[in-house]
Amino acid sequence: MAKDEYMERTLVLIKPDGVQRGLIGKIIDRFEQAGLKMAGMKMVWVDPKFAKQHYKAHVGKPFYPGLESMITEGPVLAMVLEGLHAVETVRKMVGPTEPKQAPPGTIRGDLAHHSYQYTDKKGIAIKNLIHASGNKEEAEEEINLWFSADEIFEYKTVHEVHVF
């Protein structure tokens, strides 16, 4: 990765609901069109032990069982995206956690529609398609959890001509 303080990497997961709905291509396309580079990608079927590692901040909370059930119900597409201010850019593109609150133009606002009221009443986790690291520190920790060093690639894209 370039030694520029503004170049970052972030973890993005297309959760089982996004994979099952066939939205992988649409979601990746949005990131690529924004100039973010795919530095790593793989499909993983998360087991309960790994779910506890990824969602360690939520284990023990009342909603955790539904969260674990959701993330383990099908394959997840895990990606490392790289670019200028990648963490903040991806979070802005993804939108708020609750799709009902996500504005049009965001991934969740355009492609998801669950609300906390609905999912709480049903006793299920919110289907919001995607996970994105919340900050630089979390991104680094999550990337190290999901990817080994040899699964992350460095290369140049045409977008980099316009950035540097």
Known catalytic residues are 131
> What is the Cα–Cα distance from 105 to 97, expressed in whole angstroms?
14
Would residue 85 be called left, alpha or beta, if left means φ above 0 and alpha means ψ between -120 and 50 degrees? left
CA 46, 47, 52: angle at the middle one, nearest 5? 95
Half-sphere exposure at residue 164, Cβ-oriented, CA atoms within 13 angstroms = 13
Q: Are 129 and 52 in contact (CB under 8 A)?
A: no
How much of the chain is helix, strand and coil, in % rounded to 5?
Answer: 45, 15, 40
